[in-house]
Structure 1
Amino acid sequence: MTGLRVRPAEASDFPAVARLTVAAYEADGQLKGEHGYGDVLADVSTRADSGEVLVAVDEATGAVLGSVTFVLPGTRFAELAGPGEAEFRMLAVDPAAQGRGVGAVLAQACVDRATELGCTAVLICVRAGMAAPAHRLYERLGFVRVPGKDWSPLPGVDLLGLRLDLRRS
């Protein structure tokens, strides 16, 4: 999408990333009944120490519109990725910027990064019952459900494993 640029987050972006990530998860109803996950989402510094936090910025205003955390296996936030794979987590778009393609450019940036690193696949987990537009986005990018990667970190929080094979022709 034109008008958006994805770049690594800088420390000065962390407050905006924390605010928009928590706001996006709250707006989507994903923090109801959670036990401290909002604090994890807001701790951008720890995410940046454990992986790559990327931001989508409006080129005209410089405003941070969304963010995602890209991780490799064996790092603190990797949940699904195995050897040679990559994963992204905590993709969030400011509720005021939803519908502008921000999520798509962030997801594609993670796929591109995994490709650059020579990874064979990208994995993500999405909450069962997550908004249909998010599921459609991942489907359009070629992610497929891998039921063997489904899991539940807490009772009532069911996560579905999705995988994009980067070795496809």
Structure 2
Amino acid sequence: MSGTETSADRPRVAPGVAIRLVRTEEYEEAGRVTAEAYRASYGLLSAGYDASLRDVAGRVGLGEVWVAVDDADGAILGSVWVARPNRRLSDLALPGETDFRQLAVAPEARGRGVGEALTRHVVELARRRGSHRVVMNSGPQMTGAHALYAKLGFRRLHEREGATEVEPGRFIELLAFGYDLGPEPAVAPAVPAWTLERTTWDDPRAVSLRAEMDEEVGPRYADRWPDDDAEAAERSRRSFSIDPDTIVAVVLVVAPSGEAVGHGALRDLEHDGTRDLEVKRVFVRESARGTGASRALLAELERIGAERGAPRVILQTGDRQHDAVALYEKLGYRPIPIYSPYREHDFSRTFEKTL
């Protein structure tokens, strides 16, 4: 199938359905929908398995949970768990492949094309990230899902099938499916040999990457911005605006091709009666995520901060940027109270790291 367009190559969303990342306040409902979907297909679930299906927070810590929602009332109709770029959720996936798990559609939403829309979305994510194949396991009872995968052009990966322990002492003969996006590399893809480059705020490459960041992150918070209070909207705009004169460093991640694939900056921020260097606008394109580029970018910003004599760096992100929060916590950033100018925005997550 590689090199030939098939039905899953043409992204399509079911009428009246939107697909987006799960929101923090939706974890419980998304977990309920997943458990109900599995119960409808498998029958009685053990208490442990039911709890694992409801544990959306745990899944978000390891990957991305995407939900299909009803355009009319925002109800969650289904969800799917997808590996982050250049990562994997299970041993099923090999280097260069994107795996997904726990594709679930609410029983009352079946027949609306939700499962197909979610599967197409995973294929499109994998394509953008440079994967050559999408893979997943499926239980033998999920015959409806198997028919969908066949319709979209997936094939069985018999060599990857076998008994899998889905919970302690419980084994299932899981089937394996794959969808080819391109030719399989002769060798495992190498980690990109990117470099770090100091530049200016108005560098066109930096401007372009910040625009990409806005396009990706902005929709996650669209419902959080006041649209009926002009004064509140103006305060929000001021809170997140950046005066270029306060920027003390801009760093780009540059791929071997010369293309800039990542961006980060430091600004001198006066707030709450003190001054700090604040990490701003950290963004890495999907194709470079999971390669260590984000870690190296943050390490360089921290090095610059220490070189300037700062005792710490601080940063603000949001509660719907789960991957960013996980990264900062892994790198030793410690949560701190929301600081000015973000205090009005209670969805803010703010951190510090001692240098």
TM-score, normalising length from structure 1? Answer: 0.90
Displacement of 1:35 after TM fit? 7.1
1:1-169 to structure 2, matched below 5 A, reads 1-29=14-42, 32=45, 34=46, 36-72=48-84, 74-75=87-88, 77-130=89-142, 132-154=143-165, 156-167=171-182
Q: Is the 8 A contact 1:87 1:124 kept in 2?
A: yes
Q: Is the 8 A contact 2:99 2:134 kept in 1?
A: yes
Q: Is the 8 A contact 1:68 1:106 kept in 2?
A: yes
Task: Write the distance in 2 (CA, Å) between the matches of 1:48 and 1:156.
Answer: 25
Q: Which has the higher contact order (CA 8 A, sep 6+)?
A: 1
Q: Is the 8 A contact 1:31 1:38 kept in 2?
A: no
Task: Write the distance in 2 (CA, Å) between the matches of 1:35 and 1:143.
Answer: 32
Q: Is the 8 A contact 1:4 1:59 kept in 2?
A: yes
Task: Write the distance in 2 (CA, Å) between the matches of 1:12 and 1:127.
Answer: 30
Task: Write the distance in 2 (CA, Å) between the matches of 1:24 and 1:79.
Answer: 24
* CA radius of gyration, larger in: 2
Letter in 2 for 1:141: L
**Which ranges in structure 2 are unaligned for 5 or more consecutive residues?**
1-13, 184-355
> SS of the counterpart of 2:42?
coil
Letter in 1 for 2:102: M
Aligned residue pairs, count: 165
Task: Write the distance in 2 (CA, Å) between the matches of 1:31 and 1:149.
Answer: 27
Task: Write the distance in 2 (CA, Å) between the matches of 1:152 and 1:36.
Answer: 19
1:63-90 residue CA offsets vs partner (Å, 9 max, x unmatched): 1100000015654x32311101001100
> SS of the counterpart of 1:69?
strand
**Which ranges in structure 1 are unaligned for 5 or more consecutive residues?**
none
Residues 1:124 and 1:167: Cα distance change in structure 2 (over 3 Å) = same
> SS of the counterpart of 1:55?
strand
Displacement of 1:40 after TM fit? 1.4
Displacement of 1:157 after TM fit? 1.1
Task: Write the distance in 2 (CA, Å) between the matches of 1:31 and 1:83.
Answer: 35
Residues 1:153 and 1:140: Cα distance change in structure 2 (over 3 Å) = same
Task: Write the distance in 2 (CA, Å) between the matches of 1:87 and 1:30.
Answer: 25
Letter in 1 for 2:164: P
Letter in 2 for 1:88: F
> SS of the counterpart of 1:159?
strand
Task: Write the distance in 2 (CA, Å) between the matches of 1:129 and 1:26.
Answer: 11
Displacement of 1:151 after TM fit? 2.3
1:76-130 residue CA offsets vs partner (Å, 9 max, x unmatched): x323111010011001011111111111111111111000100000001111232
Q: Is the 8 A contact 1:25 1:31 kept in 2?
A: no
Task: Write the distance in 2 (CA, Å) between the matches of 1:110 and 1:162.
Answer: 14
TM-score, normalising length from structure 2? Answer: 0.44
Percent of aligned pairs with the same residue? 38
